């Protein structure tokens, strides 16, 4: 396997040579330095690297270039190598552009040219970026290949898991010559798919996500059996709690059943999060938060689902996790968010993962090219998905229960949708059934106001409805409202009386549940605001209450 690449792009030949020379001098033994003199030429080089299944660690691009400036290049390049670190090279006069770039493409650094001596001005920055890149799971993987069937729910599950954990992979169809060759080399037949082939040549047939996680460099078991704080769920609230907990010296472990980022990680563009006027993709926000939590010393455990919680005396709480082991801690933050409700229309359950998807399923977007795509839901998440899929699909149909999108969606998204000709909104419309042999082929829709039914041909249905908390495992342990959201603080006081079983001589703190020392933050909490910013804020606030709780112990 070739060394990972560092790509440098500058249209001035002398500068371009100098940049590549400085980079090669220090990193040439471990990284391959690829030099290009324009954005399009650099994109061409990146495509070749991608096709060869190789990695890119850092991209340095000059801001002022004809045809494609540095910001445009980095933005396009991110689609191919989302975890590569990004640096914009600017002259002093272009500082404003660099600041824009931070917002638009989330550059990691901008460097002013010239940078003599590189030992002071270039290498410390590059060292930091390479360390950051090396700590991403993606860097461990040169060329993960997934061999599977086009319409197979288990194959989709594997691809979705890799994509959400930002692990690049090559998708090979089992019935194509390359797929047949890989299966035969692995000594497996077509029934063994999905098969994941790791760069060291190991093949995993129909792997469970835990097994897969362990092979792609994600931690799946905690290093210790006792912590100050265990955070359950690595969405924005959990990541917020982990960053603040670890940075304030608490021994913190964050456990996540699936992939960091939660719902926010699925968002193609979050446009209302403070500090990102041009929006930020959920994947970028998640990746940054994940690195930040790790930098402060939080442990992050994936494919680990909390399945039970018990009080272990006044000083500890005990969490039981999916492999039946336990993690004990002084305190717990529940940040398990919500997940989409399933549509109950006949036929859809059998076709889930084979044309019917819950959430944005970004991995499928390129496969929707030229197709008719149906999206159910009228909230912001559905709106974002419609805008995103409209880049690929021939037409996107939004099926909403209400008469108008404005009843349920932010104004900025309604305006974006109205401006896209290929998105069609179908008010008062619901899905009656789904039909198809090995994948979704038809949907029967009904107009709720007239009762009129019609059948449409499509292979793609994405559902974004009725988010609900998955807190059954907390039944009888902490008090929840009738929909399963965790009650906290003043919501636990009925007519001023403290919750049953509460023994402390004080009321529960604002985010504290009915079990002292167990807090809830983000979407899972009853009466919370369902937003990224509020989830992050509650994660941070929960940690300050954890401190207050520990001090009083
Ligand atoms: C597609 C989409 C787009 C959105 N766009 C925006 C936007 O533009 N702006 C905005 O403000 N908000 C947006 N939202 C809403 C926002 O993402 C949520 O409000 C936010 O993610 C809530 O964060 P959270 O941490 O509370 O929960 P979640 O993000 O739901 O994360 C919870 C995590 O907990 C994990 N988990 C659940 N149960 C367990 C368990 N038992 N054990 C271990 N782990 C568990 C889950 O796997 C998940 O990763 C969007 C949501 C979606 C789906």
What span, in angstroms and rounded, lies between the C-alpha atoms of 127 and 23? 11
Between the CA of residue 119 and those of 25, 42, 116, 208, what are the distances in Å? Answer: 11, 26, 8, 46
The answer, yes or no, to whether any atom of ligand 1 lies below 6 A from the CB of 270, is: yes
Q: What is residue 492's three-state secondary structure?
A: helix
Residue 223: pLDDT band by 50, 70, 90 thresholds?
very high
Query: Is the separation of the CB atoms in 11 and 65 below 8 Å?
Result: yes
Taking the centre of ligand 1 as the mean of its atom positions, its distance from the CA of residue 266, in whole angstroms, is 8
- Tell me the pLDDT band of 327, cut-offs 50, 70 and 90: very high
pLDDT of 89-124, one tens digit each? 887 777 777 777 666 667 888 888 777 788 888 898
Block residue for tokens 């559905």: 382
What is the spatial distance between Cα 548 and Cα 285, in angstroms, rounded to a whole number?
A: 29
Mean pLDDT of the chain: 90
CB 200 within 8 A of CB 304: no
Q: Is the pLDDT of residue 138 over 70?
A: no
- pLDDT for residue 413: 93
- Residue 447's φ and ψ, nearest 5 degrees, are -85, 115
Which atom of ligand 1 is found nearest the CA of 382?
1
380 within ligand 1 shell (Cβ under 6 A): yes
Compute how many other C-beta atoms are within 10 angstroms of the C-beta atom of residue 114. Answer: 12
Whether pLDDT at 422 is above 90: yes
**pLDDT tens profile 331-350:** 999 999 999 889 999 999 99
| Cis preceding linkage at 117, omega within 30 | yes
pTM: 0.79
- What confidence tier does 11 reach under pLDDT thresholds 50, 70, 90? very high
pLDDT value of residue 423:
97
Q: Whose CA is nearest to atom 6 of ligand 1?
A: 270
Q: Is the CB of 233 under 6 A from ligand 1?
A: yes
Q: Are 379 and 523 spatial neighbours (Cβ–Cβ below 8 Å)?
A: no
User: What is the torsional sign of CA 404, 532, 208, 389?
Assistant: positive
Residue located nearest, by CA, to atom 15 of ligand 1? 531
Lowest-confidence segment of 81-90, 161-170, 204-213, 424-433 by average pLDDT: 161-170
pLDDT digit string, tens, across residues 261-291: 999 988 878 888 998 877 888 888 888 899 8
Q: DSSP letters along 46-89, please?
A: HHHHHHTT--EEEEEEES--SSS-HHHHHHHHHHH-TTSEEEEE
Q: Give the rounded percent of residues in the chain with a pLDDT score beyond 90.
A: 59
Three-state SS for 372? strand
Q: Kindly state the average pLDDT of the residues 195-215.
A: 87
Q: Is 384 in the pocket of ligand 1 (CB under 6 A)?
A: yes
The Cα–Cα gap between 504 and 516 comes to 8
User: For the chain, what percent of residues have pLDDT higher than 70?
Assistant: 97
pLDDT value at residue 137: 64
The pLDDT score that the predictor gives to residue 363 is 73
R_g over Cα of the chain? 25
Confidence of residue 142 (pLDDT cuts 50, 70, 90): low
Q: Please give the angle made by the CA atoms of 261, 265 and 269, to the nearest 5 degrees.
A: 145
- Tell me, what's the pLDDT at 139? 61
pLDDT (tens digit per residue) in 288-309: 899 899 989 999 999 999 999 9
Give the pLDDT score at 80: 79
Whether 396 has a pLDDT exceeding 70, the answer reads yes
Instruction: Using the predicted structure, report yes or no on whether residue 245 has a pLDDT greater than 90.
Output: yes
CA distances from 213 to 217, 221, 264 (A): 7, 11, 21
Task: Say if CB 369 and CB 392 are below 8 A apart.
Answer: yes
Q: Which whole number is the average pLDDT over 2-29?
A: 90
Query: Phi, psi (5° rounding) for residue 269?
Result: -160, 115
Q: Assess whether the C-beta atom of 538 lies below 6 angstroms from ligand 1.
A: no
Q: Are 85 and 108 in contact (CB under 8 A)?
A: yes
- Lowest-pLDDT choice from 199-203, 364-368, 493-497: 199-203
The verdict on the CB of residue 534 being under 6 Å from ligand 1 is no
């Amino acid at each position: 396997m070739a060394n990972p690449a560092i790509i440098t792009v500058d249209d001035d030949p002398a500068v371009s040579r100098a940049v590549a020379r400085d980079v090669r001098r220090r990193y040439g033994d471990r990284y391959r330095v690829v030099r290009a003199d324009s954005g399009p030429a650099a994109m061409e080089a990146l495509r070749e690297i991608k096709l060869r299944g190789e990695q890119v660690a850092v991209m340095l691009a000059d801001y002022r270039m004809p045809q494609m400036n540095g910001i445009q290049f980095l933005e396009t390049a991110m689609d191919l190598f989302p975890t590569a670190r990004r640096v914009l090279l600017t002259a002093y006069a272009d500082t404003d552009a660099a600041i824009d770039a931070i917002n638009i493409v989330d550059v990691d650094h901008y460097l002013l040219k010239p940078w003599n001596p590189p030992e002071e001005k270039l290498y410390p920055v590059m060292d930091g970026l390479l360390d950051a890149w090396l700590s991403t799971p993606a860097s461990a993987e040169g060329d993960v290949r997934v061999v599977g069937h086009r319409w197979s729910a288990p194959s989709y599950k594997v691809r979705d898991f890799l994509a959400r954990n930002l692990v690049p992979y090559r998708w090979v169809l089992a019935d194509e010559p390359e797929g047949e060759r890989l299966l035969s080399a692995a000594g497996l037949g077509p029934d063994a798919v999905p098969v994941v082939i790791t760069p060291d040549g190991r093949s995993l047939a129909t792997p469970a996500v835990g097994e897969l996680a362990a092979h792609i460099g994600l931690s799946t078991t905690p290093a210790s059996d006792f912590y100050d704080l265990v955070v359950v769920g690595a969405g924005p609230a959990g990541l917020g709690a982990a960053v603040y907990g670890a940075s304030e010296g608490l021994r913190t472990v964050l456990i996540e059943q699936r992939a960091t980022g939660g719902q926010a990680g699925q968002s193609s563009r979050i446009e209302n999060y403070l500090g990102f006027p041009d929006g930020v993709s959920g994947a970028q926000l998640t990746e940054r938060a994940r690195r930040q939590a790790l930098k402060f010393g939080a442990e992050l455990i994936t494919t680990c689902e909390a399945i039970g919680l018990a009080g272990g005396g006044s000083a500890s709480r005990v969490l039981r996790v999916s492999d039946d082991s336990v993690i004990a801690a002084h305190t717990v933050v529940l940040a398990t968010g919500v997940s989409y409700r399933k549509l109950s229309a006949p036929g859809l359950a059998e076709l889930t993962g084979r044309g019917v998807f819950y959430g944005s399923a970004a991995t499928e977007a390129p496969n929707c090219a030229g197709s008719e795509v149906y999206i159910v839901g009228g909230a912001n998440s559905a709106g974002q998905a419609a805008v995103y899929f409209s880049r690929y699909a021939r037409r996107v149909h939004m099926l909403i229960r209400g008469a108008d999108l404005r009843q349920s969606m932010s104004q900025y998204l309604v305006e974006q949708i109205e401006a896209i000709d290929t998105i069609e909104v179908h008010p008062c419309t619901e899905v009656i059934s789904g039909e198809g042999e090995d994948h979704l082929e038809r949907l029967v829709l009904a107009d709720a106001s007239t009762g009129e039914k019609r059948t449409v041909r499509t292979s793609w249905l994405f559902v974004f409805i009725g988010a609900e908390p998955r807190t059954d495992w907390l039944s009888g342990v902490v008090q929840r409202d009738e929909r399963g959201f965790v009650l906290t603080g003043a919501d636990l006081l009925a007519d001023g009386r403290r919750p049953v079983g509460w023994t402390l001589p004080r009321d529960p703190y604002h985010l504290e549940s009915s079990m002292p020392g167990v807090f809830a933050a983000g979407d899972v909490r009853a009466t919370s605001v369902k937003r990224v910013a509020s989830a992050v804020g509650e994660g941070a606030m929960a940690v300050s209450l954890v401190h207050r709780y520990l001090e009083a112990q």
